[in-house]
Amino acid sequence: MANKRVFSGIQPSGDLHIGNYLGAMVNWVRGQGEHDNVFCIVDLHAITVPQDPKILKKRILENAKMYLAAGIDPKKSTLFVQSDRPEHSELAWILNCFTYMGEMNRMTQFKEKSNQTKVRTEMKKILKKQKGYTTKYLEKRLDELKDAKTNTQEWFESVMLEIQKEQFDQEIEATIDNYFASNATVGLFDYPVLMAADILLYDTDEVPVGDDQKQHVEIARDIAKRVNNKFGKVFTVPEPIIKKEGARIMSLVDPTKKMAKSDDSENSYVLLRDNADTIYKKFARATTDSENVIKFDKEKKPGISNLLNIMSVATETPIPELEKKYADSNYGEFKKDVADCVIELLKPLQEKLAEYDKNEDYVRKVLKDGAEAVAPRAQATLERVKKAVGLGL
Ligand code: TRP
């Protein structure tokens, strides 16, 4: 039997950190030989939210370097940039015509990306205070007062109650939803269709994704089945493979939160490009507790547990062994050792990165070769679809 076809999309996000590396990238690299893997840097998806062109361009190359340095082997896997293959956009258009507005409306990521929670909360406060809004509601009910039988006191109480109640909240929610929806781009709304095109172009069997992307793979399946039902077998219906989360690496500042680049504090994450000095500093400042006992206890000792976890994954040593080893150590010594392990872990990766920095043409060539290697399959799928739908001569 032919190898399973696996497609993964990589967002060309900014700097990657050890949370990305230990939590996800390591898994990508594993099992490279077993499947027919396609890794695609999804720059067309990136522009669904505002991007600085210069920074985006840099990030595409930077991401490619990072994945190659982490161990994606161009001999075993294909790595390419989405916009280098025009078939993605072209298929997305055709799929658009087999996708319903209602389906897209239900996608939650669109809602999350288009209305930032912080702004929402602020708006809600303002709207609640805003007299105009209350006035509008009042206007609707003022007519009732014309009726002589209305008890003014009761009426007043009921209006006030209503204003505080859910219905009013929902009106506010709806106003905010509307506001954000009309200020988000059509591209963001259409994001899942482009993603379906990515997947379906390559007759993908499996799509490894995080939980947040499962809904998008389901849409790709629905669209594939719908087209197949109409025109006969055009697409392979893909399966989502929900990635078992690798190590869940937490923030060094607030170890109850996942490590994230979007964090305000630079000390909360260790970037894959951080030098030894920076890594020592960040671990030295890592939040712990005042017990001075090195023991894994996620609830009571989230900081120390996170450090133990990082060391365990970085050195492939079970946590109990580490607890034993550090039974007589203080936090300062332990933190320094954790930093050493991470520095050691990142060393080969950083060496490769330095090589790629000097030889960006090599990285560009890998990407160009990748885009060429996948061309026949993408073109074949697109031809099949166009024929099925009745496009062209
Ligand atoms: N939406 C995915 C993410 O945010 C990235 C992506 C784009 C993707 N196209 C894909 C993932 C196709 C899997 C398959 O992570």
pLDDT of residue 294: 96
pLDDT of residue 139: 72
Is residue 256 in a domain?
no
Query: pTM score, two decimals?
Result: 0.81
Residue 135 tokens, joined? 């006035």
Residues 340 and 277: their CA atoms lie apart, in Å, by 10
For a ligand 1 pocket test, name from 47, 209, 239 the mutation site with the most ligand atoms within 8 angstroms of its C-beta: 209
Q: With 70 as the cut, is the pLDDT of residue 120 above it?
A: no
Which CATH number do you get for residue 61? 3.40.50.620
Residue 76 tokens, joined? 């075993």
Q: Which of 89, 79, 87, 88 is nearest to 371 (CA)?
A: 79
pLDDT of residue 58: 95
Residues 86 and 176: their CA atoms lie apart, in Å, by 36
Its domain, for residue 80, covers 5-109+189-248+360-389
User: Total domain count for the chain?
Assistant: 3
The per-residue b/e assignment along 154-185, b for 16 or more CB within 10 angstroms, e otherwise, is: eeeeebeeebeeeebeeebeeebeebbeeebe
Which CATH number do you get for residue 311? 1.10.240.10
Q: Is the beta carbon of 11 within 6 A of some atom in ligand 1?
A: yes
Q: Are residues 217 and 286 in the same domain?
A: no
Residues 110 and 128: their CA atoms lie apart, in Å, by 25
Q: Choose the weakest-confidence range: 236-240, 259-263, 270-274, 304-308.
A: 259-263
Higher pLDDT, 15 or 203: 203
Is residue 259 in a domain?
no
Q: Which tens digit of pLDDT belongs to each residue from 131-168?
A: 555 667 777 777 776 777 777 777 777 777 776 665 56
Q: Are residues 344 and 209 in the same domain?
A: no
Q: Which residues contact 322 (CB under 8 A, 6 or more apart)?
A: 294, 308, 311, 312
Q: Are residues 67 and 208 in the same domain?
A: yes
Residue 150 tokens, joined? 């209305």
- CA 239 – ligand 1 centroid, Å: 14
Q: Which of 13, 47, 33, 39 is nearest to 75 (CA)?
A: 33
pLDDT of residue 149: 77
C-alpha radius of gyration, the chain, whole number: 26
pLDDT of residue 115: 58
Q: Are residues 243 and 136 in the same domain?
A: no
Q: How confident is the model at residue 118 (pLDDT cuts 50, 70, 90)?
A: low
Which residue CA neighbors atom 2 of ligand 1 most closely? 9
Percent of the chain with pLDDT over 90: 66
Q: Which of 353, 304, 361 is nearest to 333 (CA)?
A: 304
- CA 331 – ligand 1 centroid, Å: 40
Contact of 186 with 76, CB cutoff 8 Å? no
Q: Choose the weakest-confidence range: 154-158, 170-174, 230-234.
A: 170-174
Task: Report the interhelical angle of 360-389 vs 87-96 (nearest 10°).
Answer: 30
Which residue CA neighbors atom 6 of ligand 1 most closely? 9
Q: Is the beta carbon of 9 within 6 A of some atom in ligand 1?
A: yes
Q: Is the beta carbon of 7 within 6 A of some atom in ligand 1?
A: yes
Which residue CA neighbors atom 5 of ligand 1 most closely? 9
pLDDT of residue 385: 98
Q: Are residues 199 and 173 in the same domain?
A: no
For a ligand 1 pocket test, name from 20, 45, 108 the mutation site with the most ligand atoms within 8 angstroms of its C-beta: 45
Average pLDDT (257-266) is 87
Q: Is the beta carbon of 63 within 6 A of some atom in ligand 1?
A: no
Q: Are residues 238 and 98 in the same domain?
A: yes
Q: Is the beta carbon of 82 within 6 A of some atom in ligand 1?
A: no
Residues 57 and 318: their CA atoms lie apart, in Å, by 40
Atom of ligand 1 nearest to the CA of 45: 7
Q: Length of the chain in residues, anyone?
A: 393
Q: Choose the weakest-confidence range: 51-65, 69-83, 162-176, 193-207.
A: 162-176
Which residue CA neighbors atom 8 of ligand 1 most closely? 9
Q: Choose the weakest-confidence range: 78-92, 158-172, 223-237, 353-367.
A: 158-172
Q: Are residues 202 and 101 in the same domain?
A: yes
State which of 158, 183, 208 marks the end of a domain. Answer: 183
Q: Which of 51, 85, 57, 42 is nearest to 195 (CA)?
A: 42
- Averaged confidence pLDDT in the chain: 88
Higher pLDDT, 300 or 174: 300
Q: Choose the weakest-confidence range: 57-66, 261-270, 278-287, 370-379.
A: 261-270
pLDDT of residue 134: 65
Residues 224 and 196: their CA atoms lie apart, in Å, by 8
Ranked by mean pLDDT, the top range of 139-153, 164-178, 236-250, 349-363 is 349-363
Q: Is the beta carbon of 41 within 6 A of some atom in ligand 1?
A: no
Would you name the residues annotated as active-site residues?
A: 113, 258, 261
The beta-strand segments (E) located in 128-231 are 206-209
Q: Are residues 135 and 161 in the same domain?
A: yes
Q: Which tens digit of pLDDT belongs to each residue from 315-347?
A: 989 999 999 999 999 999 999 999 999 999 999
Q: Is the beta carbon of 5 within 6 A of some atom in ligand 1?
A: no
- CA 329 – ligand 1 centroid, Å: 44
Residues 368 and 333: their CA atoms lie apart, in Å, by 47
pLDDT of residue 34: 81
Q: Are residues 194 and 123 in the same domain?
A: no
State which of 183, 204, 224 marks the end of a domain. Answer: 183
Task: Report the interhelical angle of 166-183 vs 117-129 (nearest 10°).
Answer: 130
DSSP letters of 308-327? HHHHHHHHT--HHHHHHHTT
Average pLDDT (211-228) is 95
Q: Are residues 98 and 202 in the same domain?
A: yes
Q: With 70 as the cut, is the pLDDT of residue 2 above it?
A: no
- CA 178 – ligand 1 centroid, Å: 26
- CA 260 – ligand 1 centroid, Å: 18
Q: Are residues 179 and 196 in the same domain?
A: no
Percent of the chain with pLDDT over 70: 87
DSSP, collapsed to helix, strand or coil, labels residue 241 as strand
Q: Are residues 276 and 350 in the same domain?
A: yes
- CA 184 – ligand 1 centroid, Å: 19
Residues 200 and 234: their CA atoms lie apart, in Å, by 9
